[in-house]
Amino acid sequence: MVKVGIIGASGYTGAELLRLCAQHPSVEVVAATGDSQAGTLASHLYPSLAAAYPNLVFEEFTVDRFTGLDVVFLGIPHEAALEIAPQLVGKVGCVIDLSAAYRLKDSSLYPTWYGFDHTQPELLAQAVYGLPELYRSQLPGAQLIATPGCYVTAASLALTPLVRAGLVQSQGVIVDAASGVSGAGRALKHGSLFSTVDEDFTAYGLLDHRHTPEIEQVTGAQVLFTPHLAPMNRGILATCYARPQGDAPTTASLLASLATFYKDEPFIVVRPQVPSTKATLGTNTVHITARYDERTGYVMVLAALDNIAKGASGGAVQSMNVALGLPEVSGLSTVGMYP
């Protein structure tokens, strides 16, 4: 069995990691921290975990508790991950970070987009980007994996095949994406209160959302990114616009290009139907479609996913599977919960 530890297990991504590990045939969770919830039964905070983890108690973090484990997931804020990851890399088999601490390869971007200086160039260079559909060959044997942002996963999987194939221009790409409230985390915030979110739909992070340079890094495109908050628990729907390059495509040719790029990917569904967030609920699956509008000359690509599953914890488990040589689909569902 793969011995797993989860640091920050009391947050939403941590709870999702616990859920996914519970259904993974090759994983045993041996330690789970939640410093703000230390001493609390996991099943008390999340009754959904009661059957799988009746006796699991959130602990405070100590390095010794995690030393020697096969995999340690970090479900903690960026700067906390910067502090803890160096203490674990080399002492555990693989550290999988769900924050943005090791995502951006250009360390000079961190002060502008995240408000802190990145002081670990060696670890930053060592980190492998945890999006298997695009970086699978780099994952086996990785000691540090940076799991992508949820918006980035949706936008990158929608756009990258077309950018790489030279079917769309890499300048002037627009990404409009809406996320469920769980993307803001479990902490109490005015913007995620029920009375604030219910019956509302709003944009935020105009022109300066921190996922912008990450989307550009992965896709190789210049992107205007606008995120929106939707009154739902989970899900992301990304609508991406780009100008064609070369001869004008057709909707059929765009769909064929995407389908060919993802033909062997177990978690990517390409089809003509419009994606919906509910179709991906609880899964590691991304649903993608595309259109070409002859009237305006725009290519449009849409992607839907579960922001906590494929967009965070599910993507992290998928990367773990690849890094450790386990079946890539282990512990991960492709069938959504409906209705």
| Ramachandran bin of 258, using left for φ above 0, alpha for ψ from -120 to 50, beta for the remaining angles | alpha
Residue 202, H or E segment: strand 202-203
Which residues, 6+ apart, have CB-to-CB distance to 77 below 8 Å?
99
Residue 133: which residues within 8 A CB-CB, separation 6 or more?
Answer: 157, 262, 265, 267, 268
**Beta strand 94-97 pairing with 298-305:** unpaired
Amino acid at 94: C
**End-to-end distance of the chain based on CA atoms, in angstroms?**
35
Q: How many CB atoms lie within 10 A of CB 137?
A: 9
Q: Is 240 annotated in the active site? A: no
CA dihedral (32, 322, 24, 48) in degrees, to 10, reads 50
Q: Looking at 21, 94, 150, 240, which residue is catalytic?
A: 150
Q: What DSSP state is assigned to residue 92? A: B
Q: How far is it, in rounded angstroms, from Cα 286 to Cα 284? A: 7
Helices 212-219 and 150-164 cross at an angle (nearest 10°) of 30
* Beta carbons within 8 Å of 246's beta carbon, 6+ residues apart: 166, 167
3-state secondary structure (DSSP) of residue 246: coil
Q: How far apart are CA 254 and CA 271, in angstroms?
A: 11
Q: Minimal CA–CA distance to 30: which of 64, 62, 6?
A: 6
Sequence-separated contacts (24+) of 258-261 with Cβ below 8 Å: 258/161, 258/162, 258/288, 258/290, 258/301, 261/161, 261/164, 261/165
Which residues does the annotation mark as catalytic? 150
